[in-house]
Amino acid sequence: MSIKKTESYEEALEKEELKEEREQAAGGEFASFDDALEAEKEQAARDAQAKADLDLPPDPDVLLEVRHLKKYFPIKKSMSGKVLVSLRAVDDVSFKLKAGETLGIVGESGCGKTTLGRTILKLHEPTDGQIFFEGQEIAKYKPSKMRPLRTQMQIIFQDPYSSLPPRSTVGGILSEPVKVHKIVPPNEVKDYVLKIMEQCGLRDYYYERYPHEFSGGQRQRICIARALTVQPKLVICDEPVSALDVSIQAQIINLLKQLQTTMGFTYVFISHDLSVVKHISDQIGVMYLGSMVEFGDKKSIFENPLHPYTQALFSAVPNPNPDVKMNRIVLKGDIPSPANPPKGCKFHTRCPMAKEICSHIAPVYKEYEPGHFAACHCYPQGEVNGPVKAVSLQDEAGEN
Ligand SMILES: Nc1ncnc2c1ncn2[C@@H]1O[C@H](COP(=O)(O)OP(=O)(O)O)[C@@H](O)[C@H]1O
Ligand code: SF4
Ligand SMILES: [Mg+2]
């Protein structure tokens, strides 16, 4: 506050107060802030970081490394074919995943989980970014170059009903990829398939049966067995239990865990349900509107969830300890469209902790403790000096 010498103290104070009142009435500290220019600056900074990271060698200690991955779907084009509006389904996502570990990806429907999984497998062509699989940069691989890698990267879908061909027997479905990819000599195919079926909890007489004869849980076991026949290293499980009854969900998750122990698979496990992800994951990534808003190992995410969105997701998970009182945090409003995400922090339109800065400046995605990243203005945006403690939404929810 600057006070002119000719004015009395009271006059100056009154003027300052008036000025502050006017600023607040006009929109506060950011009243004359140019949001569009800020968004451009943020994008330029992100692009510059992605460019700088291009030359970094891949991490030799991980199976999968994703850097600044983007998948934009064009939704409006000009007459000449120029893209006018894109839907940013995956927008600058980076993470690393070690062999034999499970990364759980959570977030509400439409936040880009499936697109992320499919883009990693190159079932969608990435718009930008790098994907290192065992140190090979596959993001720009042509389909012919991807072919030999296809067996090493498999996907299990949510819907076990539509993902199995109805006119083939279970034996036929499971034998086909084994024959196509010449996994074992032709005379050993049946024995090999029966062994995989046994590992997946499928009886040998199922070999001659058809998918429609089975329940959802059994069909998902067939889908898992089919993915495993080609001995993949990475399996993307896209909501593999969401269509199943709760008791069956636990069985399928236990099967996936068991197969991981015996066969050393690496999973990306996608789910909208944090309680499901909790049981299987080593690392957890929380997505909102195409962005990773928090990422870390299970312990840090569960014991010290930093991002208000993660905390809101947690509040919906029943706590088995009756002494721990959790208030359900109900987020207001609908999820905005990824074709036109809110400026600043994409979550600000629904965040109970939102401050004025949140609607103008996007928070930086920073590492707050080793391997634990978050993007939120509640935490230091510059230098981080030691681990930070979560700002809790629970206190606010308790007052409601
Ligand atoms: N092929 C596509 N073309 C255009 N938009 C798409 C396509 N696939 C997904 N989307 C959009 O991308 C966003 C993320 O979708 P998705 O990855 O399926 O989310 P999630 O799996 O988290 O529910 C959604 O807004 C969805 O409508
Ligand atoms: S940056 Fe602001 S709006 Fe975004 S999550 Fe943090 S407090 Fe909420
Ligand atoms: Mg999905």
Calculate ∠ Cα 315-116-110, nearest 5°.
50
pLDDT score, position 3: 39
Please tell me which residue, 185 or 55, carries the higher pLDDT value: 185
Compute the distance from residue 234 Cα to the ligand 3 centre, in Å.
18
pLDDT score, position 6: 46
Please tell me which residue, 267 or 393, carries the higher pLDDT value: 267
> Which among 103, 277, 238 is positioned nearest to 160, based on CA atoms?
238
The structure's pTM equals 0.89
Average pLDDT score, the chain: 89
Cα 278 to Cα 62: distance, rounded to the nearest angstrom: 22
Residue 197's Cβ-side half-sphere holds a number of Cα atoms within 13 Å equal to: 22
Token match 């909208």: residue?
Answer: 272
Per-residue pLDDT tens digits for 168-217:
999 999 999 999 999 999 999 999 999 999 999 999 999 999 999 999 99
- pLDDT classification of 295: cutoffs 50, 70, 90: very high
Query: If residue 315 lies in a helix (H) or strand (E), which one and from where to where?
Result: helix 308-315
Q: Is the CB of 285 under 6 A from ligand 1?
A: no
Token match 């929810």: residue?
Answer: 397
Cα 211 to Cα 222: distance, rounded to the nearest angstrom: 8
- Quote the tokens at residue 206: 């199922």
pLDDT score, position 399: 45
Ligand 2 pocket check: which of 353, 364, 379, 391 to mutate, most ligand atoms within 8 Å of Cβ?
A: 353
Residue 89's Cβ-side half-sphere holds a number of Cα atoms within 13 Å equal to: 19
Ligand 1 atom closest to 290 (CA): 14
Pick from 80-94, 103-117, 157-171: least confident:
157-171
Bridge partners of residue 295, in order along the sequence: 285, 373
Compute the distance from residue 340 Cα to the ligand 2 centre, in Å.
18
pLDDT score, position 5: 44
> Which among 281, 276, 286, 309 is positioned nearest to 297, based on CA atoms?
281
Q: Check if the beta carbon of residue 86 is closer than 8 Å to that of residue 74.
A: yes
Q: Which domains does the chain have, with CATH numbers?
A: 151-281 (3.40.50.300)
Is the predicted pLDDT of residue 103 greater than 80, yes or no? yes
- pLDDT classification of 155: cutoffs 50, 70, 90: very high
Q: Which residue, judged by its Cα, is nearest atom 3 of ligand 1?
A: 73
Give the CA dihedral 46, 52, 55, 58, nearest 10 degrees.
-50
Q: Check if the beta carbon of residue 265 is closer than 8 Å to that of residue 259.
A: yes
* Average confidence (pLDDT) over 386-399: 72
How buried is residue 261: exposed, middle or buried, by Cβ count under 10 Å (0-12/13-18/19+)? exposed
For 155, list phi and psi in degrees, rounded to 5.
-135, 140
Decide the pairing of beta strands 372-375 and 365-369. antiparallel
**In this structure, what DSSP letter does residue 33 have?**
-
pLDDT score, position 43: 86
Compute the distance from residue 238 Cα to the ligand 3 centre, in Å.
7
Sign of CA dihedral 163, 339, 305, 56: positive
Q: Check if the beta carbon of residue 349 is closer than 8 Å to that of residue 336.
A: yes
Other beta carbons within 10 angstroms of residue 324's beta carbon come to 7
Q: Considering just the CA atoms, what is the radius of gyration of the chain in Å? A: 25
Cα 101 to Cα 297: distance, rounded to the nearest angstrom: 11
Cα 105 to Cα 125: distance, rounded to the nearest angstrom: 20
Ligand 2 atom closest to 357 (CA): 2
